[in-house]
Structure 1
Amino acid sequence: MLPQFKYTTLTHTEDVQQLGYILEQCYVMSSGDSEIFLNRIGLENFRIIHQNQQIVGGLATLPMGQWWGGQRVPMIGIAGVGIAPEYRGDGVAIALMQHTLKELHTQEVPISVLYPATQRLYRKAGYEQGGNFCIWEVPTESIQIREQLLPIQPVIPLNHEVFHDLYQQQAKITHGYLDRNQAIWKGLIRPNGQETVYGYFIGSPEQPQGYIIFSQHSTEDNTILRVKDWVILTNAAAQTFWSFLANHRSQIKQVQWKSSVTDHLTLLLPEQTAKIRSHERWMLRVINVCKALEMRGYPPRVQSELHLSVQDDLLTGNNGKFVLSVANGQGEVTRGGKGELQLNIRHLAPLYTSLFTPYHLQLTGKLEATETALVAATQIFAGDSPWMANFF
């Protein structure tokens, strides 16, 4: 850690203004946009770093949860990492991340997630690829689903709170989904002053079976309906979701939505006309090995024991041997054991999230394990491909 850096919370008015100036440069914001961003997240959730009494960078911490194996694990999202251009390349960014992770470790936060502008920086801090963020696209005229099995009810005025319960029902069964911070909910409904957002319940208002939140956009040669958020809880809701979108075909050429790499909703489409338009991976960092492993859910019929050996050069409390005992969908961690599966804290992330199998991680040199440990890890960390519907 470089001694000339000072890490603090964001409290002084002049620091707020300076951080806003830095973020507007980093994220190509219009003048004043940073104030909206800072206020939406809350000043208390920002951390800044000084050099010689001058603020040189900062980031936002978003307290949330993330669903793993049907259980909510407390998580801190990292967003808005920004370093003043004249200080880039001087070690400011890694110092800022290391200070933040040490603070979170002291608070016993289990895991952290972020979207990387560059993987190299965050890998140095112990993050690794954890799951997927995909945007799909389909020509509206090719949807060809006409029968609307359920009513569609507009939500006016649009209020994100009415969607929370439905969202949580889907989140609990979706590997990697967020228990969203309020700032993310507000960003869905009121992203900026130039975009109109629409929301509809799928099914009766008293017992909806899903919802859709979207906006519409026009370019020189295309018209696009962008589904900003969706929840589908029944087959009837899935059919109605597609028929509702198909009904826009006279004015909308393309529909875009967020989903997993293998999207089950596309099974209802008559042809393989839906394509992934963009795909990137978010990164996860295990901050507290014991809490992360114990708070996660596991396959309910698996009863097994995994002997881990973990190396963490930054958060030394994570170093050592651990025994993960799994039964009835729950895990218990004790110190000690044989250390039959050895890995760096960074490479624990894709194992923890089920992004890659233990065999694939061994094949790419991310872990070393006995055959017994590989079999146990494969059973314990079996799960759907992890993804989330939010970018932050």
Structure 2
Amino acid sequence: MEIRDLSPDDLDDALDVRSRSFGPLSSGDSEQWKALARRSIDEKRMLGAYVGGTVVASARINHFGQWWAGRRVPMAGIGGVVVAPEHRGSGVGSALMHRVLERSRELGFVLSALYPATTAPYRSVGYEIAGTRRVVEISTDALRRLTGPDVPLRRAGADDAAEIARAIAATSASARDSGPFDWEPVEIARDLEDDEILTYLADDGVVSYSFASDHYDVQTITASSASTLRALWRIVGSGSSVRSTARVALGPHDPVWWMLPDNEITTRETQWWMLRLIDAPAAIAARGFPPGLEVDAALTLSDPLDVAGSGAYSLTVSDGVGELRRTSSAAGGVTLGPRGAAALYSGTPLASLRRSGLAEGGDADTDARIDAAFAATAFMTDYF
């Protein structure tokens, strides 16, 4: 078995493995998949496992920035992980994921996230549950009846991709969100070229939605001000005579929960997503932390796939900035493997990690300080 960059000449074989894993794609979706794969290959973000010169597995590394307490952290979004049925259970998938993590580090990502079809294979290489993506259904008539001042809105075009990316980033930063990630402007531009997706832009917000069989699909809706957010929701609600509901992935503290006067939101679907730290010191340095909090605690990190990064550390948090510094000893501190470190990073309390066997050592007072530093309700609204 050989794991290497997927060759553009092997796209048909890779698509065949994908079809045998998740079902066949339509002609149009197949071409879209190939276009995404070619861009990933060009940037060394798509790997294949070969047996006898034939592709038997592949995985794609998506280029994202993920928001943690309002700060953007470079994140490798792992998608399209597929293994041919006749090669499952042979170790191909595990070997492929090991190389995916190595390549993610080489590309400068400090975190990695994915949506698992099953958790066991990803836990075996250090990923852990971090949060959810929750899709809800909202009455469009309720959205239509939202009140607020008129806000200038305009139809967005492909030239607006960078402005949309800035609007989304500004909201995540100001809300101190944890979990949402951003698409590169080139990917946003592709959606803007799709006539089936309707996108409207304001000075401080954007909404994108499309028609589904019996509802609207809202891909993106975000704004920094209440007046703009209400205006964007009214755009979706203005078609209430055509579609009675809209479906959208919402964060747990999305303002629309508090905007609607009645209980007119129903949860339709919840998906878990998983996280892994690739470079723990860099991930801590990039993440946001609560301002005004002072923490100094001993940590020991043990990661079989990052021997150089394993060892004793001092964790300090001061004025919203975190740092992991190497020390000669972390006696009496908390010990974490990669799964525990990922879960802590995403806001899981140490008491829960200790009871699940993902953390050892420490004491109640230290736990309270560390928990306060990493406190978060992590969520995603996009899917990859």
TM-score, with normalisation over the residues of structure 1?
Answer: 0.88
1:131 aligns to what? Answer: 131
Residue 12 of structure 1 and its aligned partner are, at CA, apart by: 4.9
SS at match of 2:378: coil
Task: Indicate conservation of the 8 Å contact 1:67/1:177, yes or no.
Answer: yes
Q: Is 1:351 the counterpart of 2:344 in the alignment?
A: yes
Q: Is 1:165 the counterpart of 2:170 in the alignment?
A: no
Aligned in 2, Cα 1:170/1:146: closer, same or farther, shift over 3 Å? closer
2:12 aligns to what? Answer: 17
Q: Is 1:27 the counterpart of 2:56 in the alignment?
A: no
Q: Is 1:233 the counterpart of 2:224 in the alignment?
A: yes
Task: Indicate conservation of the 8 Å contact 1:71/1:295, yes or no.
Answer: yes
Residue 377 of structure 1 and its aligned partner are, at CA, apart by: 0.8
SS at match of 1:95: helix
SS at match of 1:75: strand
List per-residue Cα deviations over 1:269-305 (Å, max 9, x = no partner).
Answer: 0111202211112111111111111221211111111
Residue 148 of structure 1 and its aligned partner are, at CA, apart by: 4.6
Of residues 275, 285, 303, the one that matches 1:294 is: 285
Q: Is 1:201 the counterpart of 2:194 in the alignment?
A: no
Of residues 169, 175, 179, the one that matches 2:178 is: 175
Task: Indicate conservation of the 8 Å contact 1:357/1:378, yes or no.
Answer: yes
Of residues 2, 5, 28, the one that matches 1:6 is: 2
1:149 aligns to what? Answer: 149
| Root-mean-square deviation (Å) | 2.2
Q: Which stretches in structure 1 are left out of the alignment for 5+ residues?
A: 203-207
Residue 186 of structure 1 and its aligned partner are, at CA, apart by: 4.8
Residue 237 of structure 1 and its aligned partner are, at CA, apart by: 1.6
SS at match of 2:126: coil
1:205 aligns to what? Answer: none
1:53 aligns to what? Answer: 53
Aligned in 2, Cα 1:372/1:150: closer, same or farther, shift over 3 Å? same
Q: Which amino acid aligns with 2:248?
A: W
List per-residue Cα deviations over 1:109-167 (Å, max 9, x = no partner).
Answer: 31111111111111111101122211111222344624351235341545534412211
Residue 329 of structure 1 and its aligned partner are, at CA, apart by: 1.1
Aligned in 2, Cα 1:152/1:54: closer, same or farther, shift over 3 Å? same
Q: Which amino acid aligns with 1:185?
A: I
Task: Indicate conservation of the 8 Å contact 1:76/1:112, yes or no.
Answer: yes
**In structure 1, what is the Cα distance between the partners aligned to 2:115 and 2:72?**
20
SS at match of 2:212: strand
SS at match of 2:382: coil
Residue 313 of structure 1 and its aligned partner are, at CA, apart by: 1.9
TM-score, with normalisation over the residues of structure 2?
Answer: 0.90
Is the deviation greater in 369-378 or in 320-329? 369-378
**In structure 1, what is the Cα distance between the partners aligned to 2:7 and 2:144?**
55
**In structure 1, what is the Cα distance between the partners aligned to 2:35 and 2:332?**
46
Residue 318 of structure 1 and its aligned partner are, at CA, apart by: 2.9
2:92 aligns to what? Answer: 92
Aligned in 2, Cα 1:247/1:54: closer, same or farther, shift over 3 Å? closer
**In structure 2, what is the Cα distance between the partners aligned to 1:296 and 1:155?**
34
**In structure 2, what is the Cα distance between the partners aligned to 1:73 and 1:162?**
20
SS at match of 1:200: strand
Q: Which stretches in structure 2 are left out of the alignment for 5+ residues?
A: none
SS at match of 2:204: strand
Aligned in 2, Cα 1:285/1:232: closer, same or farther, shift over 3 Å? same
Residue 38 of structure 1 and its aligned partner are, at CA, apart by: 3.0
1:253 aligns to what? Answer: 244
List per-residue Cα deviations over 1:338-389 (Å, max 9, x = no partner).
Answer: 35111211111121021x2223323333212312320221121123x11222
SS at match of 1:151: coil
Task: Indicate conservation of the 8 Å contact 2:58/2:96, yes or no.
Answer: yes
2:354 aligns to what? Answer: 362
Q: Count residues in correspondence.
A: 373
2:297 aligns to what? Answer: 306
**In structure 2, what is the Cα distance between the partners aligned to 1:12 and 1:39?**
10
Residue 239 of structure 1 and its aligned partner are, at CA, apart by: 2.5
